[in-house]
Each structure stands twice: as structure tokens, then as C-alpha cells.
Amino acid sequence: MTAPTKPPYGTAADSVSERAPGEPLHSPVIDWFDEHARDLPWRRPEAGAWGVMVSEFMLQQTPVNRVLPVYEQWLARWPRPADLAAEAPGEAVRAWGRLGYPRRALRLHGAAVAITERHGGDVPSDHAQLLALPGIGEYTAAAVASFAYGQRHAVLDTNVRRVFARAVSGTQYPPNATTAAARRRARALLPEDAATAARWAAASMELGALVCTAKNEACHRCPIAAQCAWRLAGKPAHDGPPRRGQTYAGTDRQVRGRLLAVLREAHGPVPQAALDRVWHEPVQRARALDGLVSDGLVEPMPGGLYRLPLS
């Protein structure tokens, strides 16, 4: 999340009624970000647009501390999209390690191939061109355009949606999925200036990650606590649909992870018997393996052998 140069703001004499809806929030949140933002490698200028894109793929549903070592190894091996595109997709799955949700590795590989073929190996700056890349949705396209190129886009991850739900709507949690209303609110809160909007996107995301967290929110450290609608309302408890919890132990996800671990560590095709040893329940094990094959993460071979995909 590259942070563009901080722009000037309006004077204290500006009245709230004359400002854009989010303007009273912009300056304190961005000032807080200037002081408290984590020094993350994808925020440094040398990361470039490819480094930003890689980080956005890896950070989906995965915490920063788990991403950091894999990110650094990935960029050392594949510093440009063309470097990754030249490898078999299975190598992306292998390098993904235990980050989880390994289909992201295949999607990132597919995006690298498309960038190499369509854009001369440079991550495009145009939002529509980003959105047209395989594996890139609205969030990732907006994040890369904003954080890498300093453009004005609403970047809505879970942290940002939670900050906006509390500070503006007065609710403890946002809906489980991003709604059209949330998108409209995020666009209404965007600063008009592109560089400020890009910095606001990074700052509001960081605020949700470090202060306005899902549990044990630190309102005493929040730069907009005095304006937060949820806090001013007495922090009413969540009364919407139950929040989705993430389970792992005993699930097909765990079985898939164990099967993939065997294939990642192997230097060649793996026999069925080696995969059978990683999970005791045969029906679940077979279902997980079939799912990996269906998702393109594993290739079956003659003779009951399996390998990571080569194409």
C-alpha cells in the first residue's frame, strides 16, 4: 500500500457544512497514519505495482505476519510478472506454502501471464485493464490502482468496511458481504483529490487493522473517536445476521492443505499411497483430492500418480 505524498488540507475555518461528507474524518485519520503506519515492504516505493499486487493477493484472508516471509521470498524469485509467467503454475502453488486458499496462487500466476502477454510485462495503471486481468476482482483492481498508482478509488476490505460501519453508520459490524450501500458510502467519503484519496484508502485500512479491530477495539487510541457514531451511541451490540466464523480443524480445507503439503515437498509425481497416509478418513480424503484436481491445483497422472500443475 504505497502512500502518496501528503497533500495540504483546508483551514480550521472551513465549516463542516461546506465540506464533503468525509472531510472531517480525512485529516485526523491521515495524520494518524503518518505517525503510526507500519513499515511494510509493499508500501515502500521500490515495491512497485507488481509488489503491491502480490501483497494484495497474499493478504486476502491472511494476516500480515504470515504473509511477510512468503512475500519476500516470492519477490526475490519473481521480481517481475514475466518471471512468474515463465514458470509452471505449480511452482506458484509450491511457493505459496501454507498461506492458505492456494487458488490465489494460480490466479496470481494467471494474472502474471496476462500482464506479460497484454501489457508488455508492466502492471497496468488503468482500473478497467486491471479488472480485466484473470483473478482480479473489484477490490484488488481498486487497491492496486490506489496504492500503486495514487488513483482515486474506494478500496473496501473488511477493515475499511468495519471502520465506516462504526464511524459513520453507528453499527458494530458491517454486513458479511460488501453491499451496494457500502460502496456508495465509501465513494461519498472519498476525498476529491486523487493523492489524498489514495492515502485515505491506506489510512482507513490501517486504522481498522490496528485500532478499530473486530474485537477489543482501542477507542482511546482512535483519532476519530470523538466523531464515531457507534461510540457516541453507547456501542450498541451487533443485531444483524450472525458473523461468519472460520473453522479449520477437521474440515476439507485442512485435508486439502495436508495433501498439497506432500505435493509441494516432492520433487516429482507422488503416488496415491503417499497421499492416503496424510488423512485417516478415506471419503473426506477422496473428496478433498477431487476438489484439488477440479480447482486445477493438482494434476492426476497415469498409474495413480499426482503432481502440481505444469500448465
Alpha-carbon radius of gyration of the chain? 22
Place of cell 492416503: 276
Catalytic (active site) residue 56: yes
d(CA 297, CA 288): 11
Cell of residue 103, nine digits: 487458488
Q: What is the side-by-side order of every strand in the sheet holding 299-301?
A: 270-271, 305-307, 299-301
In Å, how far are 69, 81, 84 from 75, measured between CA atoms? 10, 10, 10
**CB-based contact 144:130 (threshold 8 Å):** yes
Cell of residue 16, nine digits: 463542516
Checking 180-184 for CB contacts under 8 A at 24+ apart, the result is: 182/156, 183/154, 183/156
Burial group, residue 296, by CB count within 10 angstroms (0-12, 13-18, 19+): middle
Chain-centroid distance, C-alpha 72: 16
- Name the active-site residue from 18, 23, 46, 56: 56
Cell of residue 25, nine digits: 474524518
User: Which amino acid belongs to residue 20?
Assistant: A
Those residues whose C-beta lies under 8 Å from the C-beta of residue 309, and which sit 6 or more positions away, are 88, 89, 90, 93, 106, 296, 297, 298, 299
**CB-based contact 54:222 (threshold 8 Å):** no
Strand stretches in the chain, DSSP E: 270-271, 299-301, 305-307
**Residues noted as catalytic:** 56
